[in-house]
């Protein structure tokens, strides 16, 4: 009888232990589910505040990737802002570089598909550090709202077709007819991912500015007078300096000149992409003569690199005593 009571008591204790374990598991599960429900509004709110390129005339329309992947060549088109995954529609304007970066993968940027300037040229996703600067560098000011191509501000990035239907591709368009947008500047939660491209434009103390000067027009050798020049980049400029002193630039040739001007350091410097140019041909007589200089193009690079990026096309005569002022 005593043995029977002990067996019964042991069975009850084991049942109670199993019940308590089951209850604890159910309680833990309920807590996890409850926590997920409690946090879900916060997560949704974080997504609703993600970076956008929002059409001002129809604020429920935004730029999206056509496909959810981050592959090069993924077309950018117009779509409902709150439709699809956040990674498709999250972008920010990286003001120091002029790039429009993906917030979820800042090494990917908005590019035009082809070199040159053709209306309707497709806008797509591509590696930020690949391709010529003219394809991926933009000027954006919220007061205007247009997304200008920095190297040819006649053209903007905008919808290809009239109307704001889903799927309307973003392409190269004349700015006179372009829509305005609201684009986010980088936020802490998006720019923190830029570790994949850390300080990609850092300039070293030993770096100096090198110019590749190409002259055209085979009628003459160009100026043998003193050329004064000032170049303005995104966040620094050279000041007025002497490009050459009583030395001819011969037609059809390319002069490579290390200016000796040190490129400033710091993260995300614009570096050597020219924003504006001022040239003064001091001449010797101040009249159209051998002092006239035909400048075909000017390209700036670092003394630590051998490749010059996209040349700044000029194709203009600068007469003795004359000036040339280009850019914005």
Out of 18-22, 70-74, 223-227, 235-239, which region has the weakest mean confidence (pLDDT)? 18-22
Other Cβ atoms within 10 Å of 59 Cβ, number:
11
- Beta-carbon contacts of 136 under 8 Å, excluding residues fewer than 6 positions away, are 98, 99, 109, 110, 111, 112, 126, 128
How far apart (Å, rounded) are the C-alpha atoms in residues 313 and 295? 9
User: Please, are residues 177 and 213 in contact by the beta-carbon 8 Å criterion?
Assistant: no
**What are 128-137's pLDDT values in tens digits?**
988 899 999 9
- CATH superfamily for 208-327 is PLAT/LH2 domain (2.60.60.20)
Q: Has residue 4 got a pLDDT over 60?
A: no
Residue 283 in this model has a pLDDT that exceeds 80: no
pLDDT at 90: 87
pLDDT-based confidence at residue 193 (cuts at 50, 70, 90): very low
| Element holding 74 (H helix, E strand) | none
Q: What fold characterizes domain 53-196? A: Trefoil (Acidic Fibroblast Growth Factor, subunit A) (2.80.10)
- Find, among 190, 206, 199, 149, the residue nearest to 46 by Cα: 190
As a whole-number percent, the residues of the chain with pLDDT over 90 amount to 22
CA distance linking residue 146 with residue 178, whole number of Å: 7
Q: Between 4 and 250, whose confidence is greater?
A: 250
Distance CA 250, CA 150 (A): 30
If you write DSSP's letter for every residue of 277-303 in order, what string do you get?
EEEEE--SSSSSSTT-EEEEEEEEEET
Q: Give the chain's mean pLDDT.
A: 75
Backbone angles phi, psi at 175, to 5 degrees: -65, -25
Q: What is the mean pLDDT of residues 57-73?
A: 89
Q: Where are the domains of the chain?
A: 53-196, 208-327
Between 117-126, 210-219, 262-271, 290-299, the lowest mean confidence (pLDDT) is in 262-271
């Amino acid at each position: 009888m005593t043995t029977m009571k002990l067996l019964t008591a042991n069975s009850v204790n084991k049942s109670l232990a199993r019940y308590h374990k089951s209850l604890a598991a159910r309680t833990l599960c309920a807590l996890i589910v409850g926590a997920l429900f409690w946090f879900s509004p916060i997560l949704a709110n974080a997504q609703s505040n993600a970076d956008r390129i929002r059409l001002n005339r129809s604020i429920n329309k935004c730029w999206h990737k056509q496909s959810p992947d981050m592959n090069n060549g993924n077309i950018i088109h117009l779509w409902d802002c709150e439709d699809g995954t956040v990674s498709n529609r999250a972008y920010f304007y990286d003001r120091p570089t002029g790039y429009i970066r993906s917030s979820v993968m800042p090494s990917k940027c908005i590019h035009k598909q082809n070199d040159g300037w053709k209306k309707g040229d497709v806008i797509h996703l591509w590696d930020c550090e690949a391709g010529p600067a003219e394809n991926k560098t933009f000027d954006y000011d919220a007061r205007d709202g247009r997304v200008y191509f920095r190297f040819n501000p006649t053209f903007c990035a905008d919808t290809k077709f009239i109307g704001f239907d889903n799927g309307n591709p973003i392409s190269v368009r004349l700015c006179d007819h372009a829509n305005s947008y609201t684009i986010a500047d980088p936020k802490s939660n998006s720019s923190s991912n830029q570790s994949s491209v850390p300080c990609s434009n850092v300039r070293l103390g030993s770096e100096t500015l090198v110019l590749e000067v190409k002259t055209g027009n085979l009628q003459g050798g160009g100026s043998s007078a003193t050329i004064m020049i000032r170049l303005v980049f995104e966040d620094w400029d050279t000041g007025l300096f002497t490009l050459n002193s009583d030395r001819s630039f011969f037609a059809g040739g390319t002069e490579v000149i290390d200016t000796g001007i040190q490129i400033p350091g710091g993260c995300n410097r614009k570096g050597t992409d020219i924003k504006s140019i001022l040239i003064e041909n001091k001449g010797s007589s101040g009249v159209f003569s051998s002092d006239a200089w035909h400048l075909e193009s000017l390209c700036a690079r670092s003394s630590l690199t051998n490749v010059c990026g996209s040349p700044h096309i000029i194709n203009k005569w600068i007469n003795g005593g004359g000036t040339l002022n280009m850019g914005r």
